[in-house]
Amino acid sequence: MQNTIMTPVLALVIWTLVMWIWLYAMRIPAMQKAKVDASKLKGPETHAALERIPPHVHWPAQNYTHLLEQPVIFYAICIYSFLVGVADDLNVWLAWGYVALRVVHSLIQSTTNYVPARFVVFTLSSILLTVIVARNAWAAFV
């Protein structure tokens, strides 16, 4: 296996798809149990119908949304690093650390949703992302 900065990108894409499967594995049975007919949902009725589903069922879906937010910056900076040649060993390890922390964040949010733990993990992953960005900015402007 090649260990370039693009490999953690692939890993996070795969993890995002795992969470996509997890959200439907939770949501579809819960909707069936609550007798929510998805074909009839539109507008404000959607929110009201989904309120009949237990909160823990929504956690994987909320996490999936989170994986489509900040990681966009991660994807962009990794591609940038790869293209301009700042994808050194340190940035690769930082990228792997970011991915690992995002997986841990997903597992926390989708199982216990214990916010203090999620916050710590999210903050640590954000710090790693910031370091990758800073290292690229340093290489570009210094």
Q: Which of 49-53, 73-77, 91-95, 102-106 has the lowest mean pLDDT?
A: 49-53
**pTM of this prediction exceeds 0.75:** yes
- The helix (H) or strand (E) run that includes residue 30 is helix 6-33
- Domain locations in the chain as residue ranges: 6-141
Predicted pLDDT at 121: 98
| CA proximity to 6, closest of 126, 87, 70, 100 | 87
Q: What is the DSSP letter of 4?
A: S
Are 96 and 1 in contact by the 8 Å Cβ rule? The answer is: no
Residue 121: half-sphere exposure toward Cβ, Cα within 13 Å: 18
Q: Which fold has domain 6-141?
A: Four Helix Bundle (Hemerythrin (Met), subunit A) (1.20.120)
Predicted pLDDT at 37: 85
